[in-house]
């Protein structure tokens, strides 16, 4: 084979690999599209405030009068987040939330890929309709989590997932909000807020405004109990 033919073959292979990398097949709909068509943070325009945790804007569980506020920072594509949820969340809710000791909040730190952002915006759209339905979505989406290295949280995947599993919401409104990227700025604000407070991976937890150095259940429980002891011993 001549040198010219070898070079041409090499260029063809490079182009082919590039096309494979940027084209995603949505197996739910059979639609193919460019990853570049999916949202990224630079394309999300608008004003946001990175400082302040803005508890009132976040999905939450538990008594609003609880002395301890815990924030979970997570990415729906994160395998470690799914693993933590499956191993610990039921115990955490039973031990701390249902007992009235803790109010739990969820803040997106969607960083793994562009479909992380889309999945986060779906959660925001549901939370704006019904806080309790967000937690149903949280459970269902982690239960259907795909490969971290692949684009799977596509528009049609999320629409079908919600249609088949989440009852009691205005589905037409959800579809409109997802397609029109209604809450993308909220996702970006979450991301910037998390970064402002030092979040650099998922899952990470904050207890009464203090970011914990690790995400172990023991570390989280210890931090909560320290805060409970401190509030119990402080003068009323």
> How many whole angstroms separate alpha carbon 84 and alpha carbon 202?
10
Asked whether the predicted pLDDT for residue 217 surpasses 50, the reply is yes
What residue has token string 């070898």? 6
Residues 59-65, mean pLDDT to the nearest whole number: 98
Same domain, 218 and 116: yes
Same domain, 101 and 215: yes
Task: Write the CB contacts of 5 (distance below 8 Å, at least 6 apart in sequence).
Answer: none
Tell me how many domains the chain contains: 2
In percent, how much of the chain has pLDDT > 90?
A: 81
The pair of three-digit structure tokens given for residue 114, joined into one six-digit string = 């562009």
Same domain, 142 and 161: yes
The confidence score (pLDDT) of residue 16 equals 41
**More confident: 26 or 38:** 38
Angle ∠(202,34,73) on CA atoms, nearest 5: 15
Same domain, 33 and 43: no
Output the pTM of the full model. Answer: 0.86
The pair of three-digit structure tokens given for residue 168, joined into one six-digit string = 């009691």
Report which of 65, 63, 126, 121 is spatially closest to residue 97, judged by C-alpha positions.
63
User: Can you list the alpha helix ranges (DSSP code H) found in 98-207?
Assistant: 114-129, 131-143, 155-165, 171-179, 184-196
Same domain, 33 and 130: no
Same domain, 119 and 20: no
The confidence score (pLDDT) of residue 35 equals 66
pLDDT single digits (tens) 72-100 = 999 999 999 999 999 999 999 999 999 99
Same domain, 215 and 141: yes
Same domain, 47 and 31: no
**pLDDT class for 65, splitting at 50, 70, 90?**
very high
Strand segments, DSSP code E, in the chain are 23-25, 32-34, 60-61, 68-74, 102-108, 204-207, 210-211
Same domain, 4 and 70: no
**More confident: 12 or 223:** 223
Asked whether the predicted pLDDT for residue 24 surpasses 80, the reply is no
Please count the CA atoms within 13 angstroms of the CA of 70 that sit on its side-chain side: 31
Same domain, 114 and 166: yes
- Report the CATH number that the domain containing residue 59 is assigned in CATH: 3.40.30.10
Domain that holds residue 29: 1-37
Residues 2-8, mean pLDDT to the nearest whole number: 45
């Amino acid at each position: 084979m001549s040198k010219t033919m070898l070079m041409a073959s090499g260029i063809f292979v490079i182009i082919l690999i590039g096309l494979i990398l940027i084209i995603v097949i949505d197996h739910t709909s059979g639609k193919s599209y460019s990853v570049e068509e999916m949202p990224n943070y630079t394309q999300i325009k608008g004003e946001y405030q990175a400082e302040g945790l803005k508890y009132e804007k976040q999905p939450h569980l538990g008594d609003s009068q609880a002395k301890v506020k815990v924030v979970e920072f997570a990415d729906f594509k994160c395998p470690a987040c799914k693993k933590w949820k499956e191993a610990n969340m039921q115990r955490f809710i039973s031990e701390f939330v249902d007992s009235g000791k803790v109010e739990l909040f969820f803040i997106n730190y969607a960083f793994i890929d562009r479909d992380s952002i889309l999945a986060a915006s779906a959660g925001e759209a549901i939370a704006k309709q019904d806080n309790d339905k967000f937690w149903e979505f949280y459970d269902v989406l982690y239960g259907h989590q795909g490969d971290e290295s692949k684009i799977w949280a596509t528009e049609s995947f999320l629409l079908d997932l919600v249609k088949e599993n989440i009852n009691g919401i205005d589905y037409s409104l959800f579809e409109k909000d997802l397609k029109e990227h209604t809450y993308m700025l909220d996702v970006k604000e979450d991301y910037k807020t998390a970064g402002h407070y030092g979040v650099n991976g998922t899952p990470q937890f904050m207890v009464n405004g203090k970011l914990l150095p690790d995400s172990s259940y023991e570390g989280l429980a210890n931090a909560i109990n320290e805060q409970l002891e401190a509030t119990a011993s402080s003068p009323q």
